[in-house]
Every structure is written in C-alpha cells, then in structure tokens.
Chains A and B, each alone.
Chain A
Amino acid sequence: MPVFRADLHVHTVLSPCGDMEQSPRAVVKAAKNKGITLLGIADHNASENVPACVEAARRAGSVTVIPAVEVASVEEVHILGLFPNPADLGAMQGKIHQRLGDDKNVPEKFGYQVIVDHRDNVLGFNDRFLLAATDMDVDTAVRYIREYGGFAVAAHVDRPAFSMTSQLGFVPPAPTFDAIEVSRFADPGEYVDLGYAVIRSSDAHLPGEVGAAYTELELEEPTYDELIMALRGEGGRKVVGYSPTIKVMA
C-alpha cells in the first residue's frame, strides 16, 4: 500500500494570527512542494476559506484538502474537527457560530480575518472575534463534531498553551477523543499508551511552516475515508511514521 504524507492542521488568512501570505494558493503550493498529499485546513472557530482551498487544490493537482476547523472549548482547549466534506463541516460551523460570543474582532489588535476565493481575491472579512472561546466544554465540542459526522482530535497536546495538557492537566485515555495531535517538538511514541491514534501536524500560520510536521500513512488512496480508516487502524490502513522530532532547549 502506498504511503502518503498528511499535514492536517494548517491555518489560512482567515485566522487572525495567520500570516497575510497564507492564502489558499500559497498554502496548496507549499503543501505540494513539501510532498504533502492530505492537507487539513483548520482555522480558529471558522471555515469560510475551506471551499477556496478545496478548489485551489483541485486546480493544482496532487493535494487533497481535508475540511476542518479548530474549535476553542470553554476551557480554551483547542480541538480539531476533521470532516468528510464542506457541507458536514458547515453544519458544525453553524453550531460554533451559535456558541461563540457576539464580540467583534479588532483587526488592529488581533489581526485581519480575511475570506478569499481560490484565486486569492479578497471576498470580505469575518467580523466575529474568532480567537475567543466558545461556551462548549471539551466533551460537548467533541460530541457535536461526532454528531455532524466529523472526527475529533485533541490539538497539539504537548504544547504549553491551548492544549488538554495545559488547560486540563492531562489527556484522559480513549475514547474522550478520536485521535490526538502532537507538535513537531514532541515524540509521538510517548503518547501511544493513551490508546489513541497519534498524528503530527505543523499548525502552520505561514507558508514556510506548511508541511514542517506531518504524519505518514499507508492508504489505498488519499481520501478522507481512507485517512479515518488508518487512524482507526482498519482494513490494513495505518499510521507508519512521522516527520522528525525537533529537540528544543528546555
């Protein structure tokens, strides 16, 4: 079975902290250059740029976009929701809109939240304060992701901010989530005892970071369904490796 590289956590210009260069075409091009086949587009509490990325990837060829969103729970734990298609993601997005406060973004302080098309033309701005937390606790957010047909991943569990570990002390053993994600700085092997599939992603906010961390998977073909089979360890599909661990000085 062929091996594909997946970077399932990449931000776009829609995230206030995303670089202004992080457009759909730039993200897709960077993924292609790094040999990333499965590209998860996950902005903070929003997903308006997913369709543009899907189309940009279709035109570029060789990259498949996984529609996703990075939900902030009331505890400020970040959870990735991966979805089979933009419509299912859209249903989850509706729930996030309901559960996110009415505060407006202040672009000068937090950054612009730009909605673009697949040619990187600016279509408008999301005016909600996307860096805010929703009022859903972790378990509720996971329940909705699953209810709308998605796959719930505890984001960057090794990081000192916005992670299960930092906010809620530790990652409970399976099945609180469907999988967990580590950053480029953690050894995925240290997390396998929890009973989850472990992915590694870049959490890229700049084109230069796309594909800086990835998961290698054995799949028949690079699709959402095959990806989920691999993460569930079904049908011989499986996670077979990761990008190297970066050792940082303590």
Chain B
Amino acid sequence: MKVKDLVKKADLSVLVEGDLDVDVEGAYVSDLLSDVMANTEAGGVWITIQTHTNIVAIATLNELAAIVISSGKEPADETLERAREEGVNVLGSADPSFEVAGKLYKLGIKG
C-alpha cells in the first residue's frame, strides 16, 4: 500500500505532500521521540500528537513513509516548512491515535 492509498482509505488530510507514492511498510504509535527513533524503520508510518520541528528530523533520520498527526493537533508553521524542505509526508487526522491505528490495522498494515 502506498501513502496516497492510506490517505484515501483512512480519511487523512495531507498537511505536507512529499512523495505520496512511497510504500508503507508498517506503523508505530508513540509520542516520545527517543522511543520513535529507536523503534521505527524505513517505510514506517508514525502516528503521534507531537508537532515540534524535531518530528521532521526523526522522520528523515529513519526514512519514515509519513507522519500522521492525530487528534487534530496543528503543527507550527516552522514544522510544516521544515517538512516541505525535507520532502516529508505530513498527514493529519481529527481522530485520536488509537482510532488512527485501528483504521490502519484494518487496512492490513501490521506493526
């Protein structure tokens, strides 16, 4: 499944469009960036309520397919700008992390 399929099927908004044709290899939910850094791999989708610019750095470092910002949290302009510069897909959902994770799981994305 590609990021663009995820956007459509899980009803996500696209806050920053990088490359939506990237394949999704898995997903992870966490709000501690130290934990995300240690436990995600390339192609992963990361669901979080964090909006600090550091999320973009973590996503590029671990080559994540996309960040999904849950609970309708709005990232600061600086975060969005950094994501645009780095070509990181930033998606949004009004749903809390648990619901977003549930939708992804139903779509066949496992761990």
Q: Are A169 and B76 in contact (CB under 8 A)?
A: no
Q: Are A137 and B57 in contact (CB under 8 A)?
A: no
Q: Given the interface contacts A75-B52, A137-B76, A139-B76, does A170 sit within 8 Å of B57 by beta carbon?
A: yes
The contact string, 1 if C-beta is below 8 Å from chain B, for chain A 112-153, is: 000000000000000000000000011100000000000000
Q: Are B50 and A166 in contact (CB under 8 A)?
A: no
* B33 adjacent to chain A (CB < 8 Å): yes
Interface residue from B32, B53, B78 paired with A166 (Cβ < 8 Å): B32
The contact string, 1 if C-beta is below 8 Å from chain B, for chain A 158-197, is: 0010000111111010000000000000000000000000
The contact string, 1 if C-beta is below 8 Å from chain B, for chain A 61-81, is: 000000000000001000000
Q: Given the interface contacts A169-B58, A170-B57, does A137 sit within 8 Å of B34 by beta carbon?
A: no
Give the distance to chain B from A112, nearest Cβ to Cβ, in Å: 29
When distances are taken between beta carbons in the complex, the residues of chain B under 8 Å from A169 are: 33-34, 36-37, 54, 57-58
Interface size of B as a range: 10 to 19
Q: Are A172 and B76 in contact (CB under 8 A)?
A: no
Q: CA of A167 to CA of B58 in the docked complex: distance in angstroms?
A: 12
Q: Given the interface contacts A137-B76, A139-B76, does A172 sit within 8 Å of B54 by beta carbon?
A: yes
Interface residue from A137, A139, A160, A168 paired with B33 (Cβ < 8 Å): A168
* B89 adjacent to chain A (CB < 8 Å): no
Give the distance to chain A from B2, nearest Cβ to Cβ, in Å: 27
**B32, B36, B76: which has the most chain A beta carbons within 10 Å?**
B32
When distances are taken between beta carbons in the complex, the residues of chain B under 8 Å from A138 are: 52
When distances are taken between beta carbons in the complex, the residues of chain A under 8 Å from B32 are: 166-167
* B51 adjacent to chain A (CB < 8 Å): yes
Q: CA of A75 to CA of B37 in the docked complex: distance in angstroms?
A: 16
With A139-B52, A160-B34 given, can you name 18 additional A-B contacts, CB distance below 8 Å? A75-B50, A137-B52, A137-B76, A138-B52, A139-B76, A165-B34, A166-B34, A167-B33, A167-B34, A168-B50, A168-B54, A169-B33, A169-B34, A169-B36, A169-B57, A169-B58, A170-B33, A172-B53
A-B contact pairs, 16 of them (CB 8 A): A75-B52, A137-B76, A139-B52, A165-B34, A166-B32, A167-B34, A168-B52, A168-B54, A169-B33, A169-B34, A169-B36, A169-B54, A169-B57, A169-B58, A172-B53, A172-B54
